[in-house]
Amino acid sequence: MAVFTSLTEAELKPWLTAYDAGELRSLTGIAAGIENSNFFLDTTRGHYVLTIFEKLTPAELPFYLGLTAHLEHGGIPCPGPLPDRAGRHFSLLKGKPAAIVRRLPGKSHMDPSDADRAQVAATLARMHLAGQSYADHQENPRGPHWWAVTAPRVMPFLDAANQALLADELKFQASHRLDTLPRGPVHADLFRDNVLFDAGALGGFIDFYFAGWDCLLFDVAVCVNDWCIARDGAAIGELIAGQARVFLEAYNAVRPFAPGEQAAWPVMLRAGALRFWLSRLYDFHLPRAGELITPHDPGHFERILKQRRAQAAPPWLA
């Protein structure tokens, strides 16, 4: 179970009195997640998720919790924080920052339909529009600066061919940042397991703790690299053109793509693959002390990056 900080009901009850959340009914650890300790929290007032943040600091949290509060206020289905009676979105629990967020309905669809893809794309576009009025600013924490810092740390673990691949892709991305494209807060990790569906309808987006400002197209690319690919056989990881077009058309219907975004599309697909190849390499070879879960296979995004590099004209709008 990916719960790094244990918590009992007896330990929680005094902390919970600072919130207008009702009386505690049950507390259950959640096995999913690799960054934080998460618990289902049921009270006499409702159903919530309690998160104890294992990496993010009190100085970093206001951006993330403020963003979800802003998006929820703007009509985006996401887990907005429940403030305590002092109006704070988080406070210390067992010496670490912790927050209560509203539990969204539904579960993830790991084998999504085109209808699912269209709902995700349209909601992502609405999220990008709603995020334009968010006043706080933080660059993508897993963006180019992080790539440059992290690459030298994982290089010694790679064979010569993958060292050359990583160095070449970093050089390519450094010359194609395309910062004149539309920018704003992006989720940056909207994989299938971070979207919930309830009775066929989209229940919401979860886990915004890699969010930051970047090209909006980067967010679209991250999604397409997970939502619109072959999942088995020799073609695993390859883009499925029909699925990608469903996603892009549904997004474009809400936030029409700006001039220049089509030309940038191959670059952003590669950027999305690079980001997750690097992070998985880091988690695999340099796990933090006390890690309780098995890291994701870096080979999946190594394969995707190679495929995107070989595909000069990936699917776009029909």
Q: Rounded CA gap, 273 and 306, in Å?
A: 9
Task: For the beta carbon of residue 162, count every other beta carbon within 10 angstroms.
Answer: 18
pLDDT of residue 288: 73
209: which 2 tokens? 């703790």
pLDDT tens for the chain, 318 residues: list them: 456 899 999 999 999 999 999 999 999 998 776 688 999 999 999 999 999 999 899 999 999 999 999 999 999 999 999 999 999 999 999 999 999 999 999 999 999 999 999 999 999 999 999 999 999 999 999 999 999 999 999 999 999 999 999 999 999 999 997 889 999 999 999 999 999 999 999 999 999 999 999 999 999 999 999 999 999 888 999 999 999 999 999 999 999 999 999 999 999 999 999 999 999 999 999 987 655 567 889 999 999 999 999 999 999 997
CA 59 to chain centre: 20
Q: Which residues contact 308 (CB under 8 A, 6 or more apart)?
A: 225, 266, 269, 270, 273, 314
Q: Rounded CA gap, 307 and 158, in Å?
A: 19
Query: Rounded to two decimals, what is the model's pTM?
Result: 0.95
Domains plus CATH for the chain? 9-102 (3.30.200.20), 114-310 (3.90.1200.10)
pLDDT of residue 178: 86
CA dist 126 to 102, 119, 181, 231, 234, Å? Answer: 20, 11, 17, 28, 35
Q: Which residues contact 294 (CB under 8 A, 6 or more apart)?
A: none
Residue the block writes with tokens 């950027």: 271
Task: For the beta carbon of residue 275, count every other beta carbon within 10 angstroms.
Answer: 28
